[in-house]
Amino acid sequence: MAPKSDEQFKDIRNKRYEEISNAALKVFARKGFAASKISDITSTADLSHGLFYHYFDSKKDIYVSIIMNVLDLFIETVETAESQKGTPWEQIVWLTKKTYSASLEQELDRHILIIQAFQSESLPDKQKKAMIQKYTTAMEGISRIITRGQRDGLFIEGDPMELAIYYQSLNHGLTLWNAKGFYPIDVSVEKVMRQLQA
């Protein structure tokens, strides 16, 4: 039997990397950064404590890595919304539906991570700046859609970025509410859209 090739090792590494990342996303979303233990992550991913450090330098390291990844996905999603066929109104509807299509719990975890991202204490300034940068990029995308919708008279008047913030705040608030778990509601896209309606 031939020894494993470099390719195979690389595949294993990538696979493990993903497993650990997914486990960490779950744990961080539920407990927050400080309360999450490496052992929580490794036991969720079903591997040894020590192995973690063959894939990530530190707890902060993986946390930042995941946040960045989640924010990139957020940017992507907004861009996809923006390139959607239809009116700006329909684009925001699409984005809203996507936000609550958390059939995959992973989607929900990602939203919670985004919300938590900035209250995360004591990260290097450089990384904090990068996070803000990404977040801002996504919000500017939403803001652009709103601007177009205002031209067509679909959305209420007002600073588009500010409206985007109201919209996003409502989403974050509802996400957190449902995450509490003791009185979950079925979020209605129409009720969320009222926020922006002309």
Partner DNA sequence: GTCTATACGTAGATAGAC
Partner DNA sequence: GTCTATCTACGTATAGAC
Q: Which does 16 bind (CB under 5 to 8 A by kind): its own copies, DNA, none?
A: DNA
Per CB under 8 A, does 132 bind its own copies? Answer: yes
What tokens appear for 84 in the block?
């959607």
Q: How far is the CB of 162 from its own copies (least distance, A)?
A: 6
Contacts of 117 by beta carbon, 8 Å cutoff, 6+ apart: 67, 70, 71, 131, 135
Q: From DNA, its own copies, none, which one binds at residue 48 (CB under 5 to 8 Å depending on kind)?
A: DNA
Give the C-alpha separation, 62 to 185, whole Å. 32
48 binds its own copies (CB under 8 A): no
Q: Is 176 in the site for its own copies (CB under 8 A)?
A: yes
From the list its own copies, DNA, none, pick the one residue 53 interacts with, judged by a Cβ distance below 5 to 8 Å according to partner type. DNA
Q: Judged by CB under 8 A, does residue 170 bind its own copies?
A: yes
Residue 72 has, within 13 A of its CA and on its CB side, a CA count of: 6
- Assess 43 for contact with its own copies (CB under 8 A): no
Interacting residues with DNA (CB under 7 A):
9, 12-13, 16, 36-39, 47-54, 57-60
- Nearest distance in Å: CB 151, DNA: 50
Are 175 and 111 in contact by the 8 Å Cβ rule? The answer is yes
Residues 33, 63 contacting (CB under 8 angstroms): yes
Distance, in Å, from the CA atom of 31 to the CA atom of 39, rounded to the nearest integer, reads 13
If one asks whether residue 179 binds its own copies (CB under 8 A), the answer comes out as yes
- Does residue 97 belong to the site contacting its own copies (CB under 8 A)? no
**C-beta pairs of 12-20 under 8 Å, 24+ apart in sequence:** 13/55, 16/47, 16/51, 16/55, 17/55, 19/45, 19/47, 20/45, 20/47, 20/52, 20/55, 20/56, 20/62
Q: For its own copies, which stretch binds (CB under 8 A), given 50-58, 74-82, 97-105, 164-172? A: 164-172
Chain residues binding its own copies by CB under 8 A are 30-35, 115, 118-119, 121, 132, 136, 139, 156, 158, 161-162, 165-166, 168-174, 176-177, 179-183, 185, 191, 194-195
